[in-house]
Structure 1
């Protein structure tokens, strides 16, 4: 499927260069497994709030959207290079904004927190000085917000490519804290058994909103603009709030209607 989409994209680019106005009839949306946002069921069906939104967008635009789940860094790179049209669910960061064009409105919200073992008291009080001697885990390729990034530069951080590994290491006592979001973590915890229970602790690290993102090149500007108009209608009509409630996903206050 990826090779077919690449061929289609090359043909369309050639037509654009020759001066022919064209509209892509097939799009590729990529991301990694985000619980309730972008998932693939055992029967191959893609589900989640991101898919709900894009399927409705595809119907309105009279296009076909194909989906692909891939490691998170690869998914970002595919969209950055124009090998895919839409990235599902990234948080905004200054570094990512240099490489990707983000949608005007987010479509979900996450709490970023530290998880700790239930029977292991920690010193986290919101000050990074309080955890400077602790073993901390985080997910590779995730954005945790400017403050976390800056304040943890001098700390010892263990990175994990999958959340399950980080959770298991924390539960075994190989870590003191694991920085993650509640939505993904609770979904993984519901599927696995671990030696010792873990729990989110307060205060939160940050609040992050999730967006759709597109390649920054000019040939994708119309796609982004069309999606922004579509999302604005979904927000104003209350359809986004309804879909999010069905999926059990929190949405930003800015996307709520009166």
Structure 2
């Protein structure tokens, strides 16, 4: 059986590297990539009927195929995920991590797996809101103390009338109040509002285009020389999935739309 191109490259790197001097070489030798995440962040990571599912699971399963290894998933509280990576307890963090300047200094990022900028979601059929600017003077629900709240507040200052921002403790309540007309719109990251609209196609609709500063989710590993070949191989696998359409299929499944992603993680403004 012929190995995928990325797997062949990875195997070549593995055999060329000194024993135990390279994370990818160790992974290839063991035949297993150990990935940690928190399985409580739909649509990226969550459990359905006790089984792990989501955007990351679908993408990482394909990465495993490209590398020619099995992927083992570790479910941890979010507060334990990054410290565990730094302690060397697993190879990789497969949770979606917002790229920031501070994080990019500390961790090695893969190429983007999804756009993580903010977007509004409205009630299906609400023709008064056709674009983000139409929310001037209207009421928008946000998750209290979230980055989306800050982005909505900043965007509101650019409008002729300020947005009336209403705080909520959970996004499910925001979506419910958008659907029943108590809110003109809700705001969160684009993947989250897109997933909500896929789950409730008769009630919710994403307002295009996104607003605020663009940003992207990526996966991370340690920023050590021995980990460099791993992050490069993972990014190469993602690019292969973009080229042959697998990435687009996964995007349609979870977001109801496709999105173009950069080939490498852009340096963020945040």
Aligned to 1:30: 37
Q: Aligned to 2:37, what secondary structure does the other structure show?
A: strand
Confirm or deny: 8 A CA contact 2:118 2:151 kept in the other structure: no
The residue aligned with 1:239 is 246
Q: Deviations over 1:33-71 (max 9, x none)?
A: 232x43322142x33342222112223434332224556
Cα separation, 1, equivalents of 2:61 and 2:42 = 17
Q: Does 1:63 align with 2:66?
A: no
Deviation, 1:169, is 7.3
**Number of paired residues?**
226
Q: Output the aligned Cα RMSD.
A: 4.7
Relative to structure 1, the CA distance from residue 137 to residue 235 in structure 2 (aligned partners, 3 Å threshold; closer, same or farther) is closer
Which secondary structure does the structure 1 equivalent of 2:41 belong to? coil
Contact 1:29 1:67 in 2 (8 A): yes
> Which structure 1 residue ranges, 5 or more long, are not aligned?
1-17
Partner of 1:138: 143
Alpha carbons of structure 1 residues 68 and 149: separation in structure 2 relative to 1, 3 Å: farther
Question: Is 1:180 the counterpart of 2:183 in the alignment?
Answer: no
Within 5 Å, give how 1:190-229 maps onto structure 2: 204-206=210-212, 207-229=214-236
TM-score (norm 2): 0.57
Contact 1:80/1:99, CA 8 A, preserved across alignment: no
User: C-alpha displacement at 1:224, in angstroms?
Assistant: 0.4
- Asked if 2 retains the 8 angstrom alpha-carbon contact of 1:110 and 1:181, the reply is yes
1:151 aligns with 2:154: yes
Residue 260 of structure 2 corresponds to 252
Cα separation, partners in 2 of 1:78 and 1:158, compared to 1, 3 Å: farther
TM-score (norm 1): 0.59
Match of 1:56, SS? helix
